[in-house]
Amino acid sequence: MLPNEWLKPDWPAPPNVRGCMTTRAGGVSQPPYDSLNPASHVGDDPLSVAENRAILRRFLPAEPLWLKQVHGDRVAEAGVDAEGTEADAAVARAPNRVCAVLTADCLPVLFCDAAGTVVAAAHAGWRGLAGGVLERTVEAMRVPPETIMAWLGAAIGPDSFEVGPEVREVFMAHDPLAATAFRPAWPGTLDAAPHKWLADIYALARLRLARLGVSRVYGGGLCTLRDAERFYSFRREPKTGRMASLVWLA
């Protein structure tokens, strides 16, 4: 049984699909990484990271495929690619192969198909989202999009994610409907070009998935920046840990 402190996807997945997102609770790392930081690239004590991964491993059927994430769109395959593979998503088609992504404000997205034959996890910061990481992940699953369901884990919320106008322009160039996912960051700027916008990364992901034919989308609505007790946030504290979002077939 997974710890109560972790997030469990609220999706109607087949019984052989397992997934979760860790929180800060239950590890051994010291501040500012307290406490369950499984990321080895953020400056935490390597021994603490190793112990945190060992704690996590107790609830998993195998060691996750830990990726070298670069805000790109490459999809690795769990059970085939090696740890440290440069990719921002992973897919698995066989039991007991664990896909994992690490985030601290970026959006983690878990996927499965209705038949329980394939799962995937994607790291969707705004660069990866704009660059097509969700599209590449759905393609890599190799099942009809209408059979896929997705769960949006905890990310920076729409009242906290301040971006420049160039970010809005990138998304609108791909889909004019993306304008609905942005609003001016400060009151009184509607009559002039805002210098900053608040972006709803959850809405942007849903728009991308809908264009692919993935309509069964769950989760969303949490804010990593505002919930310091449960979540790491790079924008709140640049020196911090990461949450792990994981999915596998039993």
DSSP string, 12-58: ---TTEEEEE--STT--PPTTS-S----SSSS--HHHHHHHHHHHHT
Look at the alpha carbons of 218, 223, 66, 76 in this order and tell me if their dihedral is positive or negative: positive
Whole-number pLDDT of residue 7: 97
Nearest to 204 by CA among 246, 242, 226, 175: 175
- Taking the CB of residue 234, how many other CB atoms lie within 10 A of it? 19
- Percent of the chain past pLDDT 90, that is, above it, reads 94
Whole-number pLDDT of residue 187: 62
Whole-number pLDDT of residue 195: 82
CA distance 123 to 121: 7
* Chain segment 180-196, per-residue pLDDT in tens: 999 998 765 455 566 89
77 forms bridges with which residues in the sheet? 91
**Which residues neighbour 219 within 8 Å (Cβ) at sequence distance 6 or greater?**
9, 10, 11, 151, 152, 153
* Chain segment 204-226, per-residue pLDDT in tens: 999 999 999 999 999 999 999 99
pLDDT (average), residues 165-184: 96
Whole-number pLDDT of residue 3: 92
* Chain segment 112-152, per-residue pLDDT in tens: 999 999 999 999 999 999 999 999 999 999 999 999 999 99
Residue 46 has pLDDT above 70, yes or no: yes
Whole-number pLDDT of residue 1: 84
Alpha helices of the chain — where are they, by DSSP H?
46-57, 126-131, 133-141, 165-174, 201-212
Whole-number pLDDT of residue 188: 53
User: What are the tokens at 27?
Assistant: 């590890």
Distances in Å between the Cα of 234 and the Cα atoms of 33, 35, 176, 238 are 11, 15, 29, 4
Look at the alpha carbons of 220, 223, 229, 232 in this order and tell me if their dihedral is positive or negative: positive
- The structural domains of the chain, with segments of one domain joined by +, span 17-161+200-249
* Chain segment 94-107, per-residue pLDDT in tens: 999 999 999 999 99
pLDDT (average), residues 63-80: 97
Of the two residues 198 and 193, the one the predictor is more confident about is: 198
Whole-number pLDDT of residue 57: 97
Average pLDDT, the chain: 96
pTM: 0.96
Distances in Å between the Cα of 113 and the Cα atoms of 7, 60, 84, 109, 168 are 20, 20, 26, 14, 31
**Domain 17-161+200-249 superfamily per CATH:** CNF1/YfiH-like putative cysteine hydrolases (3.60.140.10)
Nearest to 102 by CA among 114, 115, 118, 90: 90
